[in-house]
Structure formats: C-alpha cells, structure tokens
Amino acid sequence: MSDEKKTKLTKKDRRHAAVRYNFMACNIFNYESQMGPAVAWALAPALRKIYPNDDEYQMALENHFNYYNSTTVMSSLILGASLAMEERDGIGAKDAVQSLKTSLMGPLAGVGDTLVWVLWPTIMGSISGYMALQGNPLGAIVWFIANIIFWFVKLKMFDVGFTSGTKLITSLGERLNIFTESASIVGLSVVGALVATVVKISMPVVFQFGKVKLNLQTGVFDKIMPALLPALLTLLIYHLLGNKKWTPTRIILLVIAISLIGTFFGIFKA
C-alpha cells in the first residue's frame, strides 16, 4: 500500500540522523533497553519521512525502542544500513531490521570496544599522561583534536552503512573475528608494557644484619627482575577480578587499604 509514494531520504536527512545519534548515544542509557531510546529518538525525523502513516510510524519507532547496545562508531554503520532497508522496503522490513541490529551489535561491539575504548585511550592516555606529568599539555591537545576528527568519521560511517548497506557488513563477516584478534594482539602488548611502567609499587624496607644493610627493593626484588612487584600485583588483581564478589570498586578499596596499612608501618614510601 505504500507503493504509491516512496519517499527517498536526502543526504541531509541521513546526516541529520547521524548527528542526532552521535550526540544522544548513551544519554538516554538505561538498564532495560540500554541505547534503544536514543536510537528511536535519533532516527525519528528520518522515519517520519519514510512513514507518513501514523500507525506505521508508531510500529517502526516501537521496533527501535527495543534493547540495543553497541559501540557508537559501529552503531553508525548498523543504523545507516537499517535506515536504508526501511527506506527501500518500508514497514515490511521491520523484522529484518530488528534481526540485522541484534545479530550485528554484539560482534561489531567486540571490534569497536577493543579499538575505541581499549586501544585508543590506553595508548593516547599513557603518552599524554606522562607528558602532562612533565607539565606538557601537547598530548592532551592532540588527543582532543583527534577526537573531533573521529566524530566526523562516525558521521561518515553512517553514510557508508546507508549506501553499501548489509552487503559490506556481511562480507566483513568471518574476517571480523580475525580483525578483533589482531587488535587484541596490539592491545595486549601495550598492556604488558603498562604493567612494567605504570603500575608503581616498591618496598624500600632496609634490613640490618650486623653491619650489613639490605634494601628489600634494590637489593632483592630488583635483582630478581625489573618490575617484579607490579607483575605479581597484576597477577593477584587479575585472579581477584575472576571472582564475582570482587568488583572493581572493592578491589580499589582493597588497594587503598593495603597502601594505608603499608605506609603506616613504613613498608611503602610515598
């Protein structure tokens, strides 16, 4: 019945939807439908053009209110593709859109989170963090500018999703997994370096045997291996995190407690 007048979305309509999504993203985040409301809100003006009929519009919106969560870059790709499907097939595409979203949001979030939330902030954060400690804001400024550029990349991803649609995403298919693993390789080598450089713990306790003084840190631990204590502490925390009872917050409190007690007895030094 919607054959008579098929509305084409203009480039401006698409850009508008992309901007709305990449602003609202997690700003209506809730535990039940997570990013769902933001998706519905972002696509609403574009969907209104596709569905002049109120009942169809309602059905389409309700569809997008369903549970949804993925990394925003990847979401731009997915939502661009879903919008293209709805423009082509109208409300008949409802179920296909829903299954496209639910089947892709997980795997794409795997790549997206690794790149956007793990690798990028870890590398930028450690470089700019050390620069800041030396009083140099350059790292922070570069990071800030890169994030602005990155925001426009997200808008571009929406267009890519819209024009190349499901074809592109499904052809990524099996390579997606390899790509995620490759990103993890970079990530894990960086994490290995972080253990040695960023985690700081030392026990400069001095023992005295007769006339011989022995500093526990420089005389024993450093002789065995550099960054021995950070490595051991990392191992301990990694195992604690495997236990459901040890939430990150509890572990932070534990670390603070150990530090306070250790400093009180002079085992650690600030």
Partner 1 sequence: MSGINLIQDILIVILAAYMTIDQNGLVIMSWFPVIVGTITGIIMGDMTTALTIAGTFQLMMLGVAALGGASAPNYGLATIVGIFVAVRTGTGIKSAIAVGLPVGLLAIQLEVVARIIVNFLAHRMQTDVKNHDFKKMQHEAWWGPALFSLQTGLPAILIVFFGPDVVKFILHVVPSWVTDGLTVAGGMLPVVGVGMLLRYMPVKKFLSYIIVGFVLAAYLKVGVLGVALIGFAAAYWYFISESKKVKEAAITTNVPSDDEGDDYDE
Q: Which residues from 222-241 bind partner 1, rule CB under 8 A? A: 225-227, 230-231, 233-234, 237-238, 240-241
**Count of residues engaged in binding partner 1, rule: CB under 8 A:** 114
Smaller CB distance to partner 1: residue 107 or 125? Answer: 125
Applying CB under 8 A, among 1, 148, 212, 224 the residue interacting with partner 1 is 148
List the Cα angle 112/114/118 in 5-degree steps: 120
Closest distance to partner 1 from the beta carbon of 206 (Å) = 17
- Residue 208 bridge partners (DSSP): 213
Cα distance between residue 50 and residue 8, in whole Å? 8
Cα distance between residue 149 and residue 185, in whole Å? 25
Q: Is 268 in the site for partner 1 (CB under 8 A)?
A: yes
Q: Which of residues 80-99 bind partner 1 (CB under 8 A)?
A: none
Cα distance between residue 184 and residue 264, in whole Å? 40
Cα distance between residue 203 and residue 266, in whole Å? 9
Smaller CB distance to partner 1: residue 210 or 242? Answer: 242
CA-based nearest residue to 193, from 236, 146, 130: 130
Residue with tokens 């790709």: 77
Phi (first) and psi of residue 209, to 5 degrees: -110, 100
Burial (CB count within 10 angstroms: exposed 0-12, middle 13-18, buried 19+), residue 201: middle
Cα distance between residue 180 and residue 171, in whole Å? 15
Q: Which stretch binds partner 1 (CB under 8 A): 1-9, 29-37, 81-89, 205-213?
A: 29-37
**109: number of Cβ within 10 Å:** 20
Closest distance to partner 1 from the beta carbon of 157 (Å) = 14
Applying CB under 8 A, among 107, 204, 219, 262 the residue interacting with partner 1 is 262
Closest distance to partner 1 from the beta carbon of 89 (Å) = 21
Q: Which stretch binds partner 1 (CB under 8 A): 37-45, 94-102, 155-163, 205-213?
A: 37-45
Q: Which stretch binds partner 1 (CB under 8 A): 10-18, 93-101, 210-218, 250-258?
A: 250-258
Smaller CB distance to partner 1: residue 63 or 82? Answer: 63
Q: Which two tokens stand for residue 240?
A: 């604690």
Applying CB under 8 A, among 49, 65, 96, 155 the residue interacting with partner 1 is 65
Closest distance to partner 1 from the beta carbon of 14 (Å) = 18
Q: Which of residues 173-212 bind partner 1 (CB under 8 A)?
A: 174-175, 178-179, 181-201
**185: number of Cβ within 10 Å:** 9
Applying CB under 8 A, among 99, 130, 153, 213 the residue interacting with partner 1 is 130
Q: β-strand 212-215 against 206-209: which pairing, if any?
A: antiparallel
Applying CB under 8 A, among 54, 210, 224, 245 the residue interacting with partner 1 is 54
Cα distance between residue 14 and residue 30, in whole Å? 26
